[in-house]
């Protein structure tokens, strides 16, 4: 069923949505709407733009689970995900979700929306890419609708999302792995201070006194998400605790890697990223007890 007006369309199923997109190529998807409403002038000012609201499509609200994964529909809100994942998800994801905005705003932020913002990155994509999550994409651009599964870390480049016109995030597949050492840091506010905020997700396993299976991702809201290969390779198999000299050397290499691979990172963000990495490295100990740290 459609609203009887020029601008807003509310399809009730995926097929209807497909049809709507084909008929209205110049349209934007409206999920929770927090980002679009905050930037109304940028998105809604033109009278040509059609708005397709996803809130009546039931398939996008489904949550299914098996031993290894949870599949979450794109329209599931962050609060809902936090509630259902309280006993299932690892601390890294739970920290990320609970640090996203506040309870009041989380009622409106959808997982799909948080991943698909056009020109700014928030905390969820970085953590999901660190955990090895993947996205099920629907391609509506052609007459026949197609589906593909894309790892989250492949979805972003240079701060922009590689989501083509007519593509929709349907589900997010989140692995239920837990790791021996997990850390999430968010310094600053990505909405209010995007040019000084740094979001860091780190996870690794500890095998007696050696560290392995390392993955980290750092998010700079305007500049993009960065996953470091140098840190992973330098730390893989390293003995813990890590001495200050090594920590400083690794963090300096990390910053050089950022300089080479990503543009638009401010000096303050680089300094904060360096310091966060050092702090994390000093915290890695043979003890597997998780120490809560909220910034």
Partner 1 sequence: MRNKNFSLNNKAALHGLLVKAKEGVGKNPQFKLPKIPNDCIIIFPKDIIGSNRVEISKKTIPLLASSSISYIDQPLFGIFAPSLDRVEKLIKKIKISYIEKEESDKKKSEDISIDFNKGNYDEELKTILDINSQIAKDLQKSESPKKASEKKEILYNSLKSKLKFDRIKSNTNQTTKVIAELVDDNLNIYSPTQWPAFIVNSVSTVCGFNKKKIIVHREKTFTKKDEMLIQPAILASIAALAAIKTNKIVYIHDNISSIRPEVNIERETWYSIANKKTLIEKINVTIEQGASQIFYDEMSKQYIAGLIPLYDLKAIKINFIFIKSPLEPAHFYGGLGYVNAIASTQIHTTKLGKIFNLSPYFWISKSLFESTIHKTIFEMDSIQDQKEILQDLVERSFFNRKYAAYKVNSALDKTLSTFTPYARGIGLAIAPSISGFSSSHEAYATPKINLTLNFDGKAELNTSFFNKSKGSEIWKKIISKELDVKVDDIEFSKDGPDLIDSGPSVLSSNSGIMAVQVKLACDKINEKRFIERLPISVTVGGVKKNNKTNLFSSNSWIALIIEASVNPLTLEAVVYKVWANCSIGTLVDEIVYKSNLKQVIVNCLNEIGAITAKGNAFNIDIKINQKYAEISDSITSGLKGVVTAAFNTALEMALNIECMSLPTSSENILSLIGDDL
Partner 2 sequence: MIKLSLKLNKTTFELYVDEMKPLSQILYEDLNVDIPNRNCNSNVCGNCLVIVDKEPFLSCLIPAYRLQGTTITTFEAFMQSAHYRNIRRTYDALNSEPCPTCYEAKTLIIESMLLKAKTKRIDSKIDDLSRKFLTKAVDEDEKNPIDLATADREFSLNSCNCLTSKALYNIVIKALKDRIKRRVL
Choose among 243, 242, 177: nearest CA to 215. 177
Residues at the contact surface with partner 1, assessed by CB under 8 A: 185, 187-188, 196, 244, 247-248, 251, 267-268, 271-272, 274-276, 278-279, 282, 295
Min dist. Cβ of residue 79 to partner 2 (A): 10
Could you say which of partner 2, partner 1, none residue 20 binds, taking C-beta under 5 to 8 angstroms by partner kind?
A: none
Min dist. Cβ of residue 200 to partner 1 (A): 10
Residues at the contact surface with partner 2, assessed by CB under 8 A: 3, 5, 7-8, 10, 30, 33-34, 37-40, 44, 51, 53, 55, 98-99, 101-105, 107-108, 189, 191-192, 294
Beta-carbon neighbour count of residue 25 at 10 Å? 11
Could you say which of partner 1, partner 2, none residue 248 binds, taking C-beta under 5 to 8 angstroms by partner kind?
A: partner 1
Could you say which of partner 2, partner 1, none residue 180 binds, taking C-beta under 5 to 8 angstroms by partner kind?
A: none
Whole-angstrom distance, CA of residue 137 vs CA of residue 154? 12
Helix, strand, or coil here: 227?
strand
Whole-angstrom distance, CA of residue 111 vs CA of residue 143? 27
Please identify, using beta-carbon distances, which residue of 5 and 143 lies nearer to partner 2. Answer: 5
Q: Which residues contact 211 (CB under 8 A, 6 or more apart)?
A: 181, 204, 205, 235, 236, 237, 238, 239, 240, 284
Please identify, using beta-carbon distances, which residue of 33 and 224 lies nearer to partner 2. Answer: 33
Q: Which residues contact 13 (CB under 8 A, 6 or more apart)?
A: 57, 58, 59
Could you say which of partner 1, partner 2, none residue 287 binds, taking C-beta under 5 to 8 angstroms by partner kind?
A: none
Whole-angstrom distance, CA of residue 270 vs CA of residue 133? 26
Beta-carbon neighbour count of residue 258 at 10 Å? 21
Please identify, using beta-carbon distances, which residue of 11 and 216 lies nearer to partner 2. Answer: 11
Please identify, using beta-carbon distances, which residue of 47 and 66 lies nearer to partner 2. Answer: 47
Could you say which of partner 1, partner 2, none residue 268 binds, taking C-beta under 5 to 8 angstroms by partner kind?
A: partner 1
């Amino acid at each position: 069923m459609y609203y009887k007006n020029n601008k807003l369309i509310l399809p009730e199923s995926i097929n209807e949505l497909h049809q709507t997109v084909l008929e209205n190529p110049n349209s934007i998807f409206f999920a929770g709407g927090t980002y679009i409403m905050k930037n109304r002038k940028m998105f809604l000012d033109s009278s040509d733009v059609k708005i397709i609201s996803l809130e009546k499509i039931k398939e996008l609200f489904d949550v299914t689970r098996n031993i290894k994964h949870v599949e979450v529909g794109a329209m599931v809100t962050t609060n809902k995900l936090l509630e259902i994942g309280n006993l299932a998800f690892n601390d890294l994801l739970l920290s990320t979700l609970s640090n996203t905005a506040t309870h009041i705003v989380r009622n409106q932020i959808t997982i799909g929306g948080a991943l698909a913002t056009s020109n700014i990155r928030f905390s969820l994509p970085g953590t999901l890419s660190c955990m090895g999550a993947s996205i099920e994409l629907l391609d509506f651009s052609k007459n026949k609708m197609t589906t593909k599964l894309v790892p989250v870390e492949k979805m972003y480049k240079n701060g922009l999302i590689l989501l083509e016109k007519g593509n929709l995030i349907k589900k997010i597949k989140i692995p239920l792995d837990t790791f021996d050492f997990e850390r999430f840091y968010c310094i600053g506010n990505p909405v209010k201070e995007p040019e000084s905020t740094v979001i860091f997700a780190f996870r690794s396993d500890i095998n007696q006194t050696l560290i392995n299976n390392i993955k980290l991702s750092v998010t700079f809201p305007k500049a993009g998400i960065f996953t470091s290969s140098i840190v992973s390779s330098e730390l893989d198999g390293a003995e813990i605790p890590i001495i200050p000299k090594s920590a400083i050397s690794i963090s300096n290499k990390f910053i050089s890697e950022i300089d080479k691979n990503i543009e638009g990172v401010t000096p303050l963000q680089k300094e904060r990223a360096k310091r966060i990495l050092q702090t994390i490295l000093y915290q890695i100990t043979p003890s597997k007890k998780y120490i809560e740290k909220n910034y």
